[in-house]
Each structure stands twice: as C-alpha cells, then as structure tokens.
A and B are shown apart, each in its own frame.
Chain A
Amino acid sequence: GQNIDQPTEMTATEGAIVQINCTYQTSGFNGLFWYQQHAGEAPTFLSYNVLDGLEEKGRFSSFLSRSKGYSYLLLKELQMKDSASYLCAVRDSNYQLIWGAGTKLIIKP
C-alpha cells in the first residue's frame, strides 16, 4: 500500500529552527509537495520537489532524497504565525496525490 509518514505534532520556540520530516512509500514518484494549513482554513502551497536536493524559498526550505523516500521541511526564524499544520503529499505514478496526516507545529514564545 501507499503510505506517507510524518510526526503528529512538534513544538518549537519563536525565533528558532524546526525540521519536519516526511517519509513515503508510494507506487511511483512524480513529485513531493508541502502545504501549510492554519486551523480552520484551507491548505496553501509551500513547496514542490521533484529532483533530489534542497529548494529554498525565504525562511522555508524543502529537501528531497528519492532513494531514501524522504523529505523534510525546514522553517527558520520561526514566527508565531507559523503555528499551523504542515502537510506532506506525494504524487504517484498515476499523478494522484497521496497525503500525509499532517504535522501540527506549535510555536511557543
């Protein structure tokens, strides 16, 4: 079966750095996505990785290793507004998205 694993919840301190991991086992691979979802709101796109390596976008970076079935989202200089759930999703060989359950990130002052 297809599976996306990510931690259920993480806590970090304002101004710090946090890394949210995602491991996947899917039927084929056509890209990995990270979305941010604030409580009660819609998910919004953060990043897309299809090749191995690091993609940097401001305070957020996303890393992919296809051979290890592994990705992480790195958030730097954490702000209170970064408190949200972070969803990892993999597009399989049929171009369907398989979603993880999300990681709830709690930022403390």
Chain B
Amino acid sequence: IAGITQAPTSQILAAGRRMTLRCTQDMRHNAMYWYRQDLGLGLRLIHYSNTAGTTGKGEVPDGYSVSRANTDDFPLTLASAVPSQTSVYFCASSDSPDNTGELFFGEGSRLTVL
C-alpha cells in the first residue's frame, strides 16, 4: 500500500538517551517534513527537506536533527532526549512545496521521555 510509514508507533525513553524516529515514503515525493503535535497547540514544524540532499530548520529545531540521503527516507534524531520532547511526532510528505502542497501524513510516533 503506497503511503508514508513511521516507526516506532510508540516509545518510552529515558532522558539523556538517543532516539531515531524513522520515516519512509514510497510516493516519490520531493518534500518531507517532521512535525510535533502537543495538546492545545497547532502542529509545529521541526525540520523539513524540499528535496533529497537538502534539509532546513523549522519552527522548533533545537534538540533534533535530520538527514535526507535519498528521496524515500527522512529520519529524525533526538541526540539526548529531554522530557519536553514528550509529544506525538508526525512525518509528512508532499510532491512539491510550491503547488497545492497537500500533505500526506504518517500515523505518528508517540514518544514519552521520562
């Protein structure tokens, strides 16, 4: 089934640990995004990539890093997790950031940092 896949679905993590959230899409979309969603707040952009080989910082990039080695994969890494990074993380893709830009979202990764 074509779409965007995230892993893990859920994770409990000790503070200070390193964690990578995986995201893979098979739609050959150029643009990919990582958002976090917290209660009472809108989706906030962490990092984005307009095309393979390039990445950019979003609204809340601190404590996170990304890479885009190829079109399909866009992993998000927390180098040293802190409790404020407890959130639901959504990966999304679109075929281009400059057209209608409809986003296709993964099912989300619920991360709890203790």
Contact = CB atoms under 8 A, between A and B. Distances in A.
Tell me the interface secondary structure of chain A in the complex.
Answer: strand
Contacts of B41: 101
Contact of B42 (A44, A50, A87): A87
Nearest to B40: A101
Interface string A82-103: 0000010101000111111110
B42 A102 contact: yes
Contact of A101 (B42, B48, B105): B42
Interface string B12-45: 0000000000000000000000000000111111
The interface size bin for chain B is 20 to 34
Contact of A44 (B40, B101, B105): B105
A48 B107 contact: no
Contacts of B107: 41-42
Consensus secondary structure, chain B interface:
loop
Contact of A42 (B40, B42, B101, B105): B105
Nearest to A44: B105
Interface residues of A, number: 22
Nearest to A50: B100
B58 interface: yes
A50 B90 CA distance: 25
B42 A96 contact: no
B1 to A, nearest CB: 14
A53 to B, nearest CB: 16
Most B-side CB within 10 Å, residue of A33, A35, A87, A96: A96
Which 7 residue pairs spanning A and B have beta carbons closest together?
Answer: A99-B42, A42-B105, A99-B43, A45-B102, A101-B42, A95-B97, A100-B42
5 contacts: A31-B101, A35-B103, A97-B43, A97-B45, A101-B40
